[in-house]
Amino acid sequence: MQQKRSQQQRLFAASEVAEFEYCPLVWWHEQFEPAVQANNEELFARLVELEHEHATQAPAIPEYQMIEQLLVKRGAFDMSGKQQSEQDADLAEIAVERAAVPAVSTLTRPLLLVVTGVFGAAVVFLLAALALRTILGNVLFPIGLCLLVLALALLILLLNDRRHQERRLIDERNHALGLPAGELVYENVDEQGETLQSEQYALIGKPSYIVQLPDGRPVPLELKRTVHDATLPASNHEVQLAAYCLILEEYFPETPPTHGILRYADCEFTVDYTPLQRKKVLRFVEQMAKCDEQQPPPLASQKAVKCRACTFQPVCPVGRGK
């Protein structure tokens, strides 16, 4: 799939739109909070400054609490081992997703040797026939031609076997990955996939997979390995899939997407791409574009359960104290 270009503008990733749907203020802090852009050493240095300025009162300061939460989230304290184990688990899953490609079929190598041998014999017989120009040469020439035809026939058989083998391996891999029937046209499980970009809207995205169904429609599939025991798809994840579908409308104008797939750790959901979801994505992108460092999104309230788990609760006017 070829990446598209658009005019210079601020672009929003589909994952950002999902974060905005979950909580606009979390997204805003992630974009514009200076502490988020600082590295761990700078954050630790700021904690030391606050401790020098406020002594034992420092841990009660909202900025101090936020920086602590950022460092915990990054695994900067005693969570490095856990973080590494999670990364190793992700790499192991990627290895499994890439794997299961058997070696060259048992027919291919011997057949290749036979083709080479027969072709070589055909060349020898034909050259000998041309060199001798005798009765023996007249006998060798048709033998050489027969061997040449046989070599070509075996070569065609070899190419057909290779095509069949490649198709089988692709089907086996797609089946192992649990992908819908169709052609895998895009994958990004190792973060090496190209960025898909809308020319009409300020949207970019990198879904885990895109499968093109036999009727031509693309189906984005997004992996969320850390989500367990879900009974319904999360609304922000549905919005992320809708953002992918909105982008894919431009890549597949004749057969636009109608749905996507969310795969969690232990279950998956098919999510319809509806006009309502499409409008929601566009509304969020419009609201995000209006925000800057001085202008946060106009959010007046939020669920307490979200605020209590939020890194930015200590400095957020909506979440503070919940």
DSSP 253-294: SSS---EEEEEESS-EEEEE--HHHHHHHHHHHHHHHT--SS
Tokens read off for 14: 């589909």
Tokens read off for 152: 């070509």
- Number of neighbouring beta carbons within 10 Å of residue 240: 29
The pLDDT, as a whole number, for residue 173 is 65
The pLDDT, as a whole number, for residue 160 is 78
Residues of the chain whose pLDDT is less than 70? 1-8, 78-109, 111, 133-134, 136-137, 164-176
For the segment 190-230, what is each residue's pLDDT rounded down to a tens digit?
778 899 999 999 999 999 999 999 999 999 999 998 999 99
- Eight-class DSSP state of 226: T
- Classify residue 93 by burial, with Cβ atoms within 10 Å: 0-12, 13-18, 19+: middle
3-state secondary structure of 218: strand
8 Å CB contact between 78 and 71 = no
The pLDDT, as a whole number, for residue 102 is 44
Which pairs count as long-range contacts for 157-166, CB under 8 Å and 24+ apart, including other chains?
A: 157/111, 158/108, 158/111, 158/112, 158/115, 161/105, 161/107, 161/108, 161/111, 162/108, 165/104, 165/105, 165/108
The pLDDT, as a whole number, for residue 62 is 93
The pLDDT, as a whole number, for residue 87 is 52
Tokens read off for 293: 């460092």
163 Cβ neighbours under 8 A, 6+ residues apart: none
**CA 192, 254, 201: angle at the middle one, nearest 5?**
55
The pLDDT, as a whole number, for residue 94 is 46
The pLDDT, as a whole number, for residue 278 is 97
Q: What is the pTM of this model?
A: 0.72
Chain-centre distance of CA 218, in angstroms?
A: 14
The pLDDT, as a whole number, for residue 208 is 93
8 Å CB contact between 201 and 285 = yes
The pLDDT, as a whole number, for residue 26 is 94
The pLDDT, as a whole number, for residue 176 is 67
